[in-house]
Amino acid sequence: MRLKQKLAFAASLVVFAGTPWIQKSDRLEAQSAPTSADATNASNAANNPIHPLLTFDLWNYFAPSPEGYPRGINNQGLLRVSVPFDVLGFRQIARAIVPINTTASVQGGPNTGAGDLTVYDFVLFGEHGTAIGVGPLIAAPTAGGEVYGSGKWQAGAAGIVIAPHNWGLLAAVATYQHSFSGNSSSPAGQITSVQPFAIYNLHSGFYLRSTGAWSFDTFHHVKDIPLGLGSGKVFTNARGDIVNLYIEPQYSVYQSGVGSPKWQIFGGVTFKFPTAKR
């Protein structure tokens, strides 16, 4: 019941916060919704994390036999909502991320719980070619226990650099968050994440991808540097809606700490909508 209440709270927060942002972004998206030129390279729009469309990502990381648990399973599901808007002429993308963590470290009883709710904002610079985004980040201790989250409020920053090309995308996303308040029994710590990714477009909406996210978590003393190679398929319709399906096996070239994965399978689906047409 507590898990359902936390998910309902997080969803309400995203919807409440997103309503005025969507209204502000209608003018921007009316100009930026996929055109006939975009249709020839739809995978760029589908995979560009700062493309100005209302975006819902459903992700899952499945990791069998994590370090210290040779017969266990770690699994993390993620719901990420991205909302474009503009303030005083500055283009921005706000994101809210809700994780659902299943961990091999819990012995007996339920081993799945909600993680910490993370919200951050990119202020975007660059109209053509390489684009840069930077902004603040905050994470709330909504996790069902320390094994699922940090037990602390955290603050930090997020940044992105992305370069679209005719053949695909090159980009890097980085976040940093450090604890500043919360459960006194929980240790102070920080989480740094760096995600370099590359997209190579094929024909008929198919593409190749490599998007392993490098994570350095001092709360749980886990470090992980995965490299991945996968593929995906993009679907579009006349209204400008985009559906992106993908799967990517990832192998850790470096790992450290109990619970760190040696290899994992990342899969997901992304939905993008030009809200100005709704």
C-alpha distances out from residue 181 to 155, 178, 185, 186, 188, Å: 10, 10, 11, 10, 9
Q: Is 26 helix (H, G, I), strand (E, B) or coil?
A: helix
* DSSP 8-state secondary structure symbol assigned to residue 105: T
Give residue-wise pLDDT tens across range 38-58. Answer: 444 789 999 999 999 999 999
The backbone torsions φ and ψ at residue 187, rounded to the nearest 5 degrees and listed phi first, read -70, 145
User: Do the beta carbons of residue 171 and residue 196 sit within 8 Å?
Assistant: yes
d(CA 29, CA 17): 18
**Owner of token pair 């991320």:** 97
**Owner of token pair 């081993």:** 111
pLDDT for position 123: 95
Question: What domain count does the chain have?
Answer: 1
pLDDT for position 145: 74
Give residue-wise pLDDT tens across range 75-103. Answer: 999 999 999 999 888 999 999 999 999 88
54: buried, middle or exposed (CB in 10 Å: 19+, 13-18, 0-12)? buried
User: Do the beta carbons of residue 166 and residue 37 sit within 8 Å?
Assistant: no
Give residue-wise pLDDT tens across range 206-245. Answer: 999 999 999 999 988 899 999 999 999 999 998 889 999 9
Give residue-wise pLDDT tens across range 163-186. Answer: 999 999 999 999 999 998 876 666
Q: Which of 30-39, 136-145, 195-204, 245-254 has the lowest mean pLDDT?
A: 30-39
Radius of gyration of the chain (CA): 19
Helices H / strands E in the chain, number of each: 3, 15
Q: Which residues constitute the domain of residue 252?
A: 2-277
Give residue-wise pLDDT tens across range 149-158. Answer: 888 899 999 9
User: Do the beta carbons of residue 183 and residue 141 sit within 8 Å?
Assistant: yes
Q: Which of 226, 10, 30 is closest to 100 using CA atoms?
A: 10
The Cβ of residue 127 has, within 10 Å, a number of other Cβ atoms equal to: 7
pLDDT for position 154: 94
Any idea what the CATH number is for the domain that residue 224 is in?
Answer: 2.40.160.40
Tell which wins on pLDDT, 6 or 116: 116
5: buried, middle or exposed (CB in 10 Å: 19+, 13-18, 0-12)? exposed
pLDDT for position 184: 65
